[in-house]
Structure formats: structure tokens, C-alpha cells
Structure 1
Amino acid sequence: MRMRGRVQLIGAGACAALLTPLTLWAWPEAAERRPTLVPTDLRDRDPQATAAARRVYAMLAGLENDARRGRSTRTVIGQHVELQNERYNAQYGDYRGVKQPGYYYRKVRDITGRLPGFVEVDLGPGYGGQGWGVGEPRSYSRSAWPSCRPHWGYAEDAVDLAVGVWAGLPREADGSYNPTGTREDCASGTTVSLPHNGGGPAGIVGFSFHQPYPGSEVKGYQQTMRRNSPAANDSGWFGRVVTQGSDEHRELLLDLSYLADHLQYLAGLGVPVLLRPYHEMNTAPGKGGFWWAGQDPGTYRKLWRIMHDYLVGSRGLHNLIFVWSPNSWDGTYGQEPRDYYPGSRYVDIVGVDDYSDTPSRPFRGETWTEVWYRGLEQYHKPRIMAESFHVPLSAAQPRTLSATPWVLWTVWGQALSYDNVSGTRGKNTNADVKRTYRSPLVITGGADDQQGNFDWRSLHKT
């Protein structure tokens, strides 16, 4: 992010189908062609993958394969939560003032009466201050964790919101929140409250990671940008980041250890995570982007593999589902991403961050999002809309999910109800949001969801 088919319930038969060997989307003009299915077993990448992570991946892969077979299918509807902005930016979103964590998770229910089936939060970019507090034990709210520093509390909220979406809110105390879903923020002296969602399994979760450049003294969003990193003036810097033994490489591992510390806590609670790091890597030269964007593709692939091997190998995290999401390759801001693909041994899901077109003005006048959907087919992985300002179903595009049955679709932060550029009513009307969340083509979340379109408890069974 630039910060700035209708089916039956998944029952025993369908679950069994999720675990069969998998198969390309059967477009009408190639209906006679046998579809190429995607793998359904996460152990193809990680032999030690947790049972919960395998079930989540199998669910998503099963939806992808139904689409590739030409069967009716559905899309998990997701919402990104910019938790650091909700907590500390009074000008953020459609409400002026400090917000409780998960404001835009709750906002969906305020509009539609339902919750997202997927929630993505960000463990970066940091606090706008120095240091990470690496190696400090959980619970974050105790004296061992330096959470009394201003703006450090959002990382606690991100982790606990993730647990709450996966396991339910309110819940028994397992960290910094008490059983009622509240905690005291020692930095501000205020009570922080997570949104209730029915008290049981309510969806799946993911993390993005806007990582400040390795070696940055301050950990904040400005330090994620290429123009503010050594890459802006030192053509050899990015290569040193991936070179073992260099100072830059040691700083990279320090940043990754911060990420791993949080993911390890979630692993201990059995929470599977869709992890989406180093996104939008295919930013065109001269267009800015993050410090890892627009770099040499081979060096970028090495960066991804270092990250993967550190988290899975060195830190033993087997609750992860890795998501690779380039920019939409419109030829202006984003370029063709193929050379940046880390390889099937390191990626589970492919997606796109689509800011190149809109429902009313699709790219090249073609069906909205179809060019990206088709383009991702070649990777033989489940396909997701990783970031969009728009809900998939609107008055302008009521057939999006029929034409392009993405496995998962995530709306970015405040864009749900507010335009972060113009500062006005968002790009989605309430009618658009309701149309999406009430469609039989989507899977929503919440333990008390009366739509009854998916039993999230099924992902928790042993």
C-alpha cells in the first residue's frame, strides 16, 4: 500500500475435495482444456506446517480450484486495518479523534451487520521512534516490554486483534487484554478496547510488514520509502543488505527478528498468519516506492528467500502462509512482475495491489481486474486481491466476482468509507458495501454471523 460464485456450505464432501490433487481457470474460449489445479497441501512448501495453517491454505486453494474447474465459488471478503493510524492519527478516517483499535473492522459491521472474513493488520512501519524492543517476552503490557513509550501500543493491539479474529472476542485472558477485551494503555493512561465479534472463531488473519530500511535509526513510515533510504544514493547498498556478514545484513536480521518475535507469540497460540512482506516490488523506475521496490530482480528474490528461511528455518515458524503481491502492472507505475517472483518453494499465494483502475474506469476498458486475475494464473497459486480501495461489488461493477472469482479480496483501511486523498466520502457507498457483504458470492466473518455461509470453527478442528 502507498500509505497514503454461489456455492453450498463447505461440508464434508467439499472439504475432502479441497485435499485432492489440484488443477488453470477454464475460460469459456478454452472450456475443452483441462484446467491446471493449484496444490492444496501447504506441506509441499513447509513439511512442518501446522495443522491450522494447512486447513486455512486448503480452504483457499479449494476455492481457487473450484474457480479453475469452472464451478461456482465464493470469495472471502477482507478488510485491512491501519491500526497505527486508528490509534494515533486523529485526522485519519471518517471520524476526527483517537479511535479504538479495530475501528475499521467494526465499521464494516456498523454498515452491514456483518464482519470481514479476513483481517490484515500491519506490524510495520514502527513507532516513529528509535529501536524495536527486540527479544522482549510477551505479555507486551508488562514491564519487560517497553510499551509505555508513546505509540508502541499499536503492536500489542495488532497481535491481540489477530488472536481475537481467529479465536473470538471477548475471550479468556492470554496476553495484555483481560477477558472483557480491554486493557490499560500505560503510555496514555486510557482504556483500550477491542471490538467484540461473537466470542468464537470469526475469520482468518494476515500481517503486512512495511519494514523501515535496515539500519534506520527511526522506525517509521518515512523510513520505508526508497527516497529516504541509502538506496536513493548508493547503488551498492541493496546488494549489501542480502550479503551475509555485512553490517546491512545484520540490520536486516534485526528487523526480521522484530517481526518474528510477534509471529512467534501467535504461533504459540496456534494462530495461522497470511504474511505479506516486500509487496509492490515491481514499482517502475523513477516512481518511488519502498526501499525494496524497483531493485534488481535477482537481488530482490534473494531478499525474499532470506526472509523466508530466517522465519521458517532459524525461528521455526510453521504457522505462516506466504503471500507475494506486486503492483498492478499497468506499465506506468508498475511493471511486469514475473522476474521478481521468488519461486514456488517460497510462496503460497499470489496477489495484486490494484490502484491502477477503478470500477467506473477499468484498465484499458476491459473487465475490471480481469487483466490482473489472468496475469496471475501463470504462477499456479491461489489468487487474491491483496489491496484495493474498492469493494468488489458495486453499482458500477455488480459482476466482478462472477467474472474474476478471486479467492480473497481486501479493502484498504479507511478507503472503506473515506477518501484519503480528497478527504471526502469514500470511494465505496454504503450501498456498495452492503451489496458486497450481503452477496451469496462472498464469505463473511463473525462467530454470530446469521448469514451462515461458513463455519469458521471448522478450521480449528484437529
Structure 2
Amino acid sequence: MRKGWIRYALFGVVLGVLLPLIGPDSAQMGAVAARQIVTDVRVRDPQASSSARAVYTMLAGLENDARAGRPTHTVIGQHDELQNERYNATYGDYPGRKPPGYYYRKPADITGRFPGFLEVDLGPGYQQSSWGVGEPRPYSAAWPSCRPYWGYTNDAVDLAAGVWEGMGSASAPRRDCSDGATVTLPGNGGGPAGIAGMSFHEPYPGSPVKGFTHTLCRNSPAAHDPKWFARVVTPGTAEQHDLLVDLSFLADHLSYLAARDVPVLLRPYHEMNARDCAGGFWWAGQRPELYRKLWQTMYDYLVGTRGLHNLIFVWAPSPWDGKHGTDPWAYYPGSEYVDVVGVDDYSDTPERPFRGEPWTQIWYRGLARYDKPRMMAESFHVPLSAAQPATLTAAPWVIWSVWGSGLTKHNSPSDVQRTYYASAILTGGTSAQGGRFDWGSLHKSSLDR
């Protein structure tokens, strides 16, 4: 079996070299889409945790069903912006602060069913210097938590664990030392209720404030120093030291989840294919070979240095429509560093799909060549609506994740219900709440490995 892994890894290296040189060829997409993909994440990480193996095998199975033309399913997902829920009174569908996990719970309020996938965001912070000062965090004595506006990171980790492990009617209330608030996370049935992911809107390395404005390229040194990004990915530089400090913050929280064998779909350094520095995050619009070094540095630190084997790595460019993003192929880090490929699609709407093609199909088709499960990583819209009732027929993504408050801002309750009650959709929660997948069996299969 080990020789098979080596052959597949070598194939991935070759593919990673060739893909930057060629764009998607629609004439070849049918043959590419029909190829079956490897279903064992140990091809990338021989030490992958039992839970990561179980989740990846499930996602790869859904992808292979779609490629073979068999009936398949899509896991409906939801992103939850815990920092905005906790601290931004203007955020969401009513004025005032929201309880943490509000948008994880919201689909259940509308439909009686939870999302089958939840993505939380550990970054970008909330306008505080460094990563905070004060009392130790529950997850690492090295990182404090009592600075104002930082308690949401504890909520993010707890909620991710609660999706995989399950929470009852609600979590046990706790006092947040950052502001004295009493925090209670929403219950999801008491048993395993889905799979979890994490994004990391990392402020630029060395930034004086950890907040969203410092994630933007135009506010980073890259905007006026063309050599700065190269120093970030060069070992031994002060800039790379700052990068590793940020990654250690991420790793400390992921380590807590790893200790509980909670698998995490980690989606870092997304939307890298912006046209230039003015159009995205500090890692976007850079030279592709330097971006690939950034990803590889991140990967080597998390997996190699920190020994995190509960991770499933998601690479997600913006749509290559010429406005939101350019062709992303040269930015692909390589099959030996990526498990799932996706897209953050804000380029079109169900009413006005790009170029009049079936909605999202062009991005789905373009990602087929990577031989990975394909994921709609961000969208304001649910996949099934009155305008597009057959989206998943043309593009059966393995996961479709709706971004935060977009659930209520851009979708009618009837379209949310249409999606959550569709036969092709896998929802979350327990069967008692109308969940259409036995997440407990997936959880058990990971324990049996």
C-alpha cells in the first residue's frame, strides 16, 4: 500500500507542475470528471487521525458517486461569524448582539434541521493589539483570553467540537472573562451532529492590530514594498517569524480539537487569485510560486512541527471570472498539500448565473481536474431556490456552505426550506430533529479504525 501512496504523491507533484501551465479544457472535462479519486486521506498524511480518515472517505465517496453518474448527496453547510455575533450589534437580521452560534442555529429555526457542516473563523481578531493579554485561555496557557473582544475564539473551538461530538439542549453556561458575559452555545440534539471546518482570516504577519482591516493587502506592507511577501516565505527572516507566531495561535486551538479527535476542514489563504493587491487579502494577487511557498510553510508547520493530523486541507480560490479573480491554476499548492478543492462564489446569483450557464457549473467543471472532492466553500445563497431548483443536478458539490448572515439576507425562508428538505441534501443534528444522515455512524466508524 505504501508504494501506491508514493506513486500517487509523485503523480500529484507532476500535476502540480503542469496545471499552472495549462488552463481548463472543457473538451477534456468529461473524461476528467469520470475519473475516480482516492478515498484514503493517508495518501497525503500517513498519520491522519481516525476521524479525519472517516470524514475524508465520506466526502471522497460522494465525489466518486457524482463522477460515476450515480445518485449522490451534498452536505449543506453554514459559516458562523462568531466575532460579529458577539460584538457587532449591526450584524445579522435584527439590531443588537446575537448569542454565539446564532447562524448555526438559524437554519434549524427556519426548517427544524441543522446544517451538516459548520465552518467557524478563528481570525481575524477584533481590533486588539497582538493576540491579547490577560488570563490563560482554556486551550493553551501560552495564549491569553481576557482582553476585550477575544472570548469568541473560545466559542469557535467549543462550537466546532460540539458539532462533531454533539451538544444537548444547550451547552453548559460559562462566564467569559473578556467581558463578563454568560455564554451558552446552541444545542444540536445531544449526539454527533455533523462535521466542522475552520477558516483563518489572518492579519498580515507583524500587524499591530489583529482585525479585519489588517487582513487586506492594501493595508499591508505588500501594498508598498514589492519584496515584503517574499520575505514572509523565506526562512530566518523577521517576517517569517511573525508568520509563525500567527500560525502558532491557530495551531494551539487546533491542537485542542486534535486531542479530542475532532476532524477539521481547514481552509486557509483563500481567494488568493485576486487581480492585484488592491483586490483582496495580503496573500492574494502575489506571485504564484511565492503563494505556494506560503501554503507549504503553513502545512509543514501545522502537520510537521505541531503534529496535527486531524486536518483536511481545503484550497478555495475566487471564481475566475476576470472580476473577482484570475485563473487560479498556477496557485494550486499541489496534491500532496490539499485534500478538498473549492470556490468562494460571489460572482453570480441564482437569477443571473455566470454566462447564462447552469448556476455554478463552470466553477464545478473547472475544479474537476484536481481529482479531489469539490466544495462550494462560500456563497450567499442556498443551492436550491425557486430560480434554480436543479443546481445540484448540474453541479453536485460534496459540501455547499452559506456565508454567515447571507442565509437570511439573500435567501427567502421558502428557499432555505426547499434546500434543507431536498432529497439530495444531507443536513445535521440528530435523527430526532429531522437529520437525514446518521452522523453517529460516521463518528463510530472513526472510533473503530
Q: Does 1:247 align with 2:238?
A: yes
Structure with greater helix percent: 2
Q: Does 1:407 align with 2:373?
A: no
Given the alignment, which residue of 313, 325, 329 partners 2:320? 329
8 Å Cα contact 1:123-1:210 kept in structure 2: yes
| Superposed displacement of residue 188, structure 1 | 2.3
Show the counterpart of 1:357. 348
| Superposed displacement of residue 286, structure 1 | 5.8
Show the counterpart of 2:7. none
Greater displacement, 441-450 / 271-280 = 441-450
Given the alignment, which residue of 432, 436, 439 partners 2:415? 432
Show the counterpart of 1:298. 289
Paired with 1:118 and 1:362, the residues of 2 have a C-alpha distance of 25
8 Å Cα contact 1:383-1:406 kept in structure 2: yes
Paired with 1:455 and 1:317, the residues of 2 have a C-alpha distance of 27
Matches within 5 A, 1:53-452: 53-132=52-131, 139-140=138-139, 146-170=144-168, 180-285=171-276, 287-417=278-408, 426-452=409-435
Greater displacement, 187-196 / 237-246 = 187-196
Letter of the aligned partner of 2:164 in structure 1?
W
| Aligned partner of residue 262 in structure 1, secondary structure | helix
| Superposed displacement of residue 189, structure 1 | 2.0
| Superposed displacement of residue 363, structure 1 | 0.3
Paired with 1:124 and 1:34, the residues of 2 have a C-alpha distance of 35
Paired with 1:217 and 1:33, the residues of 2 have a C-alpha distance of 46
Paired with 1:315 and 1:114, the residues of 2 have a C-alpha distance of 36
Paired with 2:402 and 2:191, the residues of 1 have a C-alpha distance of 23
TM-score, normalising length: structure 2: 0.90
| Superposed displacement of residue 135, structure 1 | 13
8 Å Cα contact 1:146-1:152 kept in structure 2: no
Paired with 2:152 and 2:379, the residues of 1 have a C-alpha distance of 23
| Superposed displacement of residue 447, structure 1 | 1.9
8 Å Cα contact 2:137-2:144 kept in structure 1: no
| Aligned partner of residue 322 in structure 1, secondary structure | strand
Letter of the aligned partner of 1:370 in structure 2?
Q
Structure 1 stretches of 4+ with a deviation exceeding 6 A read 27-34, 134-137
Paired with 1:315 and 1:302, the residues of 2 have a C-alpha distance of 18
Paired with 2:246 and 2:443, the residues of 1 have a C-alpha distance of 31
TM-score, normalising length: structure 1: 0.87
Paired with 1:373 and 1:95, the residues of 2 have a C-alpha distance of 34
Letter of the aligned partner of 2:360 in structure 1?
T
Paired with 2:278 and 2:33, the residues of 1 have a C-alpha distance of 40
| Superposed displacement of residue 248, structure 1 | 0.1
Q: Does 1:459 align with 2:442?
A: yes
Pick closer, same or farther for the CA change 1:56–1:34 going to 2, 3 Å: closer
Unmatched runs of 5 consecutive residues or more in structure 1: 1-26, 172-178, 418-425
8 Å Cα contact 2:217-2:277 kept in structure 1: no
Pick closer, same or farther for the CA change 1:280–1:427 going to 2, 3 Å: same
Greater displacement, 284-293 / 357-366 = 284-293
Letter of the aligned partner of 1:56 in structure 2?
V
Superposed CA deviations along residues 167-186 of structure 1, whole A, max 9, x for unmatched, are 01139xxxxxxx84321122
Pick closer, same or farther for the CA change 1:34–1:396 going to 2, 3 Å: closer
Letter of the aligned partner of 1:263 in structure 2?
L
Superposed CA deviations along residues 203-229 of structure 1, whole A, max 9, x for unmatched, are 000000000000111111111000100
Superposed CA deviations along residues 339-393 of structure 1, whole A, max 9, x for unmatched, are 0000000000000000001000000111100100000001110000000000000
User: Alpha carbon RMSD of aligned pairs, Å?
Assistant: 2.2
Letter of the aligned partner of 1:168 in structure 2?
G
Paired with 1:287 and 1:333, the residues of 2 have a C-alpha distance of 12
Letter of the aligned partner of 2:144 in structure 1?
P
Unmatched runs of 5 consecutive residues or more in structure 2: 1-25
Letter of the aligned partner of 1:435 in structure 2?
R
Pick closer, same or farther for the CA change 1:136–1:405 going to 2, 3 Å: farther
Show the counterpart of 1:39. 38
Superposed CA deviations along residues 38-77 of structure 1, whole A, max 9, x for unmatched, are 1100000000000110000000000000000000101000
Pick closer, same or farther for the CA change 1:135–1:336 going to 2, 3 Å: farther
8 Å Cα contact 2:29-2:369 kept in structure 1: no
Letter of the aligned partner of 2:148 in structure 1?
P
| Superposed displacement of residue 404, structure 1 | 0.8
Pick closer, same or farther for the CA change 1:108–1:233 going to 2, 3 Å: same
